[in-house]
Amino acid sequence: MNCLGWNCRGLENSRTVRVLNDLIRDTNLDILFLSETILVANKIEKLRVKFKYVHCFSVDRAGRSGGLAVFWHSIVDVSIDSYSQNHIDLVFNENGVASWRLTLYYNYPERIRRRKAWDMIRRLSNASSLPWCILGDFNDLLYSSDKQGVHPHPGSLMEGFRKALEESMLYEIDLECGSFTWEKGRGSNDRVQERLDRSFATREWWLKFPLCNLSVITVPVSDHKPIFLEFRETKITKRKFRFKFENTWLKDLSLFEMSQTSGKRFTVQTLFPN
């Protein structure tokens, strides 16, 4: 099973719809999530027919912005648990029993709304004990390496985002085939690239889908690139996790004091300690 998430920046453009048709055909999509549709429900229903999906659910735009939509086939037993202008929460059922959750997420780009977005992630985390995965456009950065271009991202915002994920017990699914999912100013000296579209999951979800794969797809429309998540359920329960070192940690003298006190080299433990 697989899912594609994309901030398409509006579905009124016929070229965008053609690109989506190609993506659906080439990836054999089971679940399609679109944010910034800028459409209302009746137009989403017409797209469901055009894309040949059996089911769809949408959240109408607010004014001339926003709008969410998810499409899926009948082979996937899904129920809608909750929704808002920023998320659609899906519950997947196996043999009639709730098995795991997938939250399709969109965060507004304004920085003044960041704290509300982090609180929403925490609330979603507390909403259920099912194995949980969240995917979408977070409009937030975790590390300084997530941005290339002028004006470094404020460290306080990265710290706030990391803290919300940590408190929600979410671990990032590594993105393959590219580091950035959004850009502006291509071909100019002011070009900026950022990794805004991501996916995270709880430990329980990782154990269910240990061989999941997240990749980025290049498209000729929108300033965002779609991300493509493949769910691979196996009995294998071990997976290596990538550790990222932040240069700002060098300013924390307590790390070196701890190393000197112990008389041993400082080491990094796995995300999932035994």
Among the listed ranges 8-22, 122-136, 242-256, which one has the minimum average pLDDT value?
Answer: 242-256
Which pLDDT score is estimated for 152? 87
Which pLDDT band, with edges at 50, 70 and 90, does 244 fall under? low
Which of helix, strand or coil describes residue 21?
helix
CA distance 75 to 59: 23
Comparing 97 with 64, the larger pLDDT belongs to 97
What confidence tens digit (pLDDT) does each residue in 132-172 have?
999 999 999 999 999 998 888 999 999 999 999 999 999 99
In whole numbers, what is the pLDDT of the chain averaged over residues? 87
Q: What is the CATH number of domain 2-243?
A: 3.60.10.10
pLDDT over 90 at 51, yes or no = yes
Query: Which tokens hold the place of 42?
Result: 């009746």
pLDDT over 70 at 259, yes or no = no
Mean pLDDT, range 126-130, rounded to an integer: 96
CA distance 222 to 31: 20
Tokens 């989403």, located at residue? 44
What confidence tens digit (pLDDT) does each residue in 178-191 have?
789 999 877 777 89
Which pLDDT score is estimated for 233? 67
Which pLDDT score is estimated for 248? 52
The answer to whether 114 and 157 have CB atoms below 8 angstroms apart is yes
pLDDT over 60 at 228, yes or no = yes
pLDDT over 70 at 238, yes or no = no
The answer to whether 37 and 10 have CB atoms below 8 angstroms apart is yes
Which pLDDT score is estimated for 272? 54
Which pLDDT score is estimated for 274? 46
Q: At what angle do helices 14-27 and 41-51 cross, to 10 degrees?
A: 40
Which pLDDT score is estimated for 241? 47
Which pLDDT band, with edges at 50, 70 and 90, does 236 fall under? very low
What confidence tens digit (pLDDT) does each residue in 68-123 have?
999 999 888 999 999 999 999 999 998 889 999 999 999 988 889 999 999 999 99
Every domain of the chain and the residues it spans: 2-243
Q: What is the DSSP letter of 224?
A: B
